[in-house]
Amino acid sequence: LIQRHFGLARSFGGDESHPTVLSFSQIFRLLSLCTPIKTALRGSVQGEPNSVLISVEDTLKTAREAHRSSKASLRSEIEARLLETTTFPCVTPDQMSDDHSYLRGSPEGSVVYYLSGYVVHKVSKRTACQLYLHDISSAAPVVGSDAYLTIYRSFKEGSLRHPSIKILHFVRVVNKSVSLSLDEEGLCGDLFLKVLNELDECHLTRLGCDQHKPTFTCQVLYFFIVTRINFYARDVNRRLQIREKVAIASKKARLFATPAKWTP
């Protein structure tokens, strides 16, 4: 089959039986991308007249099915791990009452508050259950300082919502685990599972009504981890682009600064 393919590539080379590397590579790509590839009428290699080359479409279809199956298996594994993580002993509101002093004026508290408001805003678009929204949102700010909410007010009205103490504690714990995983490994293929491994030692709060707490908590947990990793990836790409622009500008500056050699 490979000999037949190379024979077709050589026969399409024109009068020259030995095409150049450039022309051969172009012919090879065209034949590989022709869908479907028909049976050759003539060639430099003899073969069965009914044998045809496997088309790229068939190859991509097989690879697509394998990727889809692998993705479904990974999603099932992640959902199982999420359910396992959210079935551990949870933190009660009494235990959280003494654990939110970090919200008062610290930069980390500001980030947690804004991330929590973003999560509440996005989740509210996907659910209509008022019990869910009442559990994760608050009508008034849960932080006492007005100056603390200065940046919060600068957002477009409706783009963020005031979170409750429960989801503030939830986001703080998960965000800490994501930050630790990113500091240790950076962006990697199994980063999501590493975050879940970190969360195995934590006690997450349960969100939503009593009947659907595990399911709703899994949905919020999955959304926040994906969003947090996406924000980190965007920041890394932005820094790489800036670094590349700085390198190009430095190279141009060195070229302009280098004096031309004078030949007598």
Q: Is the dihedral of CA 167, 170, 173, 177 positive or negative?
A: negative
Are 8 and 91 in a shared domain? no
**12 Cβ contact partners less than 8 Å away, ≥ 6 residues apart:** 27, 31
> What is the domain extent for residue 163?
78-238
Whether 60 is in a domain gets the answer no
Query: Among 193, 260, 253, which residue's Cα sits nearest to residue 222?
Result: 193
Are 39 and 98 in a shared domain? no
Cis peptide bond prior to 36, omega within 30° of 0: yes
pLDDT of residue 13: 65
Question: Based on the structure, what is the number of domains in the chain?
Answer: 2
pLDDT of residue 154: 55
Are 191 and 136 in a shared domain? yes
Are 103 and 220 in a shared domain? yes
For 123, the 3-state DSSP assignment is helix
pLDDT of residue 153: 57
Are 44 and 112 in a shared domain? no
Are 126 and 220 in a shared domain? yes
- The mean per-residue pLDDT over the stretch 113-135 comes to 80
- On the CB side of 68, how many CA atoms lie within 13 Å of its CA? 6
The tens digit of pLDDT for each residue in 8-52 reads 777 766 665 667 777 777 777 776 665 444 555 555 556 555 544
- The mean per-residue pLDDT over the stretch 45-71 comes to 66
Token duo for residue 125: 């678009």
Distance between CA atoms of 187 and 256, rounded to whole angstroms? 37
pLDDT of residue 198: 78
Name the percent of the chain lying above pLDDT 90: 0
**Pick the residue with more confidence: 194 or 51?**
194
Whether 39 is in a domain gets the answer yes
Against a cut of 0.85, is the pTM above it?
no
pLDDT of residue 36: 46
For 137, the 3-state DSSP assignment is strand
Are 108 and 26 in a shared domain? no
Are 18 and 144 in a shared domain? no
**Pick the residue with more confidence: 90 or 125?**
125
Whether 65 is in a domain gets the answer no
